[in-house]
Chain A
């Protein structure tokens, strides 16, 4: 589970008034960031954060522990994102085929058989490669995008992602690999052209 979210929820459940503001800021940051990654625009991310946290206030006492509450929080945030008024921006629902994602070693240029001469930190720090990465994530069909964001960005484990999205763990693994390959291939194309 996302440690920042779980820790903030523990503080809310514990009721420590001294730590309350910090916990609320932390949850705002986590849910807004999730909304930005899923929806791709600040208005929907802000709506997602507000509605999710208002619902959290109503449901705080209904869960046995912070982990269960965190799973519920992501479920609500995900639903808010899907209901957002700019939902037409979502890529169309479609399946990503494994065959289509696999590069052809034989037909590929020599560059395709080499590791990129760039670190993950550099990908994120360079404005253009970061923009390509964000675009690739937003170009994913939403069912794949949600799995990638929850698993790789929010740091939920496979079981937690399955709980949030109400799908099997096998489906999480299948979608995750295809989503990663899709994003990897988009970056590969960018680095080859750059």
Chain B
């Protein structure tokens, strides 16, 4: 991404994907993406990365400790 415009686009990609970029800037970004395959590929791969992060699940979750269960039950039932 040596082009100055590509650098500006790169800096705005997350806000664009999160729907937090102003509409005017979105249009400019989309115009650039039409003509810049590397930026478009970067955006696609960034989307894949974000979704993979969302899909990550932790396995083997231990049961709550007895003292945790007792403390929370007591707090709730005494309210």
Q: Which residues of A does B touch, CB under 8 Å?
A: 12, 15, 17, 20-21, 24-25, 27-29, 32-33, 36-37, 42, 45-46, 49-50, 53-54, 56-58, 60-61, 98, 102-106, 108, 112-116, 118-121, 123-124, 130, 133-134, 137, 148, 152-153, 155, 158, 173, 176-177, 180-181, 183-184, 187-188
Q: Which of B40, B48, B64 contacts A49 (CB 8 A)?
A: B64
Contact in complex: B53, A133 (CB < 8 Å): yes
Contact in complex: A50, B68 (CB < 8 Å): yes
Contact in complex: A187, B45 (CB < 8 Å): yes
Given known contacts A104-B2, A113-B37, A184-B45, A121 and B64 CB-to-CB distance under 8 angstroms: no
Chain B positions within 8 Å of A148 at CB level: 53
Contact in complex: A53, B79 (CB < 8 Å): no
Contact in complex: A184, B49 (CB < 8 Å): yes
Q: Which of A50, A120, A173 contacts B55 (CB 8 A)?
A: A120
Within the complex, the shortest CB–CB distance from B42 to chain A, in Å, comes to: 7
Give 15 A-B pairs besides A20-B72, A28-B64 with Cβ atoms closer than 8 angstroms.
A20-B76, A28-B61, A28-B62, A28-B63, A33-B57, A42-B60, A49-B64, A61-B75, A105-B38, A116-B48, A118-B48, A133-B49, A133-B52, A177-B15, A184-B49
Q: Does B74 contact A (CB under 8 A)?
A: yes
Contact in complex: B48, A120 (CB < 8 Å): yes
Chain A positions within 8 Å of B37 at CB level: 113
Contact in complex: B67, A54 (CB < 8 Å): yes
**Cα A24 to Cα B77 with chains together (Å):** 13
Chain A positions within 8 Å of B58 at CB level: 32-33, 36-37, 45
Given known contacts A102-B7, A119-B48, A177-B15, A58 and B75 CB-to-CB distance under 8 angstroms: yes
